[in-house]
Amino acid sequence: MAYEVGAYVPHYDTVTVFHLRDLASGKRKKILGKDVKKIFIPQYEGLTVDTMLQNAKTFPQVMKCLPADEAEIKKLPREYIGNVIHTCLGQKFKDWVDAKVKERNDKIIDKQNLTIEMDPETYKAFMASTHVSGKCLHFKSG
């Protein structure tokens, strides 16, 4: 399927003959490898395979690209599932992932008290500085 048809399929030891049969017959929708939108999804609490699938189940076009049997889906690589969802939903899925990442990062910042409070003049100088390694520092104007 991958070589002759150009279909995006998971690694051979995680895909079943049943899913390949469904792709070949047209019962499941195939995604061409050239059309895949790859996405990196960090291993965070709110971004498990289960939460991704729970979100994806509300979109029939996504579920049509995954195996019919949920047990088969659970055996697929996390990266493959994320790429299929992202290919089908595009920016909508990326925004959902970004929101989960921000939610997790904000929780860590609050939990570990990582925010630095500073007077407005110092804050302004730091934010304008080209000597600071990045703008992802967690400062707030006091």
At 99-132, the pLDDT tens digits run: 999 998 888 877 777 667 778 888 788 777 766 5
Q: For residues 95 and 89, what is the distance between their CA atoms, to the nearest angstrom?
A: 10
Q: What is the pLDDT of residue 137?
A: 53
**136 plus 88 within the same structural domain:** no
Query: Which DSSP helix (H) or strand (E) runs through 107?
Result: helix 91-111
**Domain identity same for 128 and 105:** no
Mean pLDDT of 25-31: 95
List, for residues 46-75, the tens digit of each pLDDT value.
899 999 999 999 999 999 999 999 899 989
Up-side HSE of residue 22: CA atoms within 13 Å toward CB?
18
Could you tell me if 107 and 117 lie in one domain? no
Residues 14 and 84 in one domain: yes
Beta bridge partners of 112: none
Please answer whether residues 39 and 78 qualify as being in contact, where contact means their C-beta atoms are separated by less than 8 angstroms. Answer: no
* 89/66 same-domain check: yes
What are the backbone angles phi and psi of residue 137, rounded to the nearest 5°? -70, 150
Same domain as 118, residue 101:
no
Angle formed at CA 58 by CA 56 and CA 60, multiple of 5 degrees: 85
Question: C-alpha distances in angstroms, 103 versus 4, 95, 113?
Answer: 42, 12, 15
The domain in which residue 18 lies consists of 1-111
- Do 47 and 62 have their domain in common? yes
- Let me know whether 76 and 141 are in one domain: no
Residues 47 and 97 grouped into a single domain = yes
Neighbours of 129 (CB within 10 A): 9
Q: What pLDDT is attached to residue 48?
A: 94
Q: Which residue has the tokens 């070589």?
A: 3
Please count the structural domains in the chain.
2
Task: Tell me, yes or no, whether 135 and 102 share the same domain.
Answer: no
Specify the pTM: 0.76
Q: CB-based burial of residue 79 (10 Å sphere; 0-12 exposed, 13-18 middle, 19+ buried)?
A: middle
Same domain flag for 24 and 74: yes
On whether both 103 and 117 belong to a single domain, the answer is: no
Supply 51's token pair: 């939460």
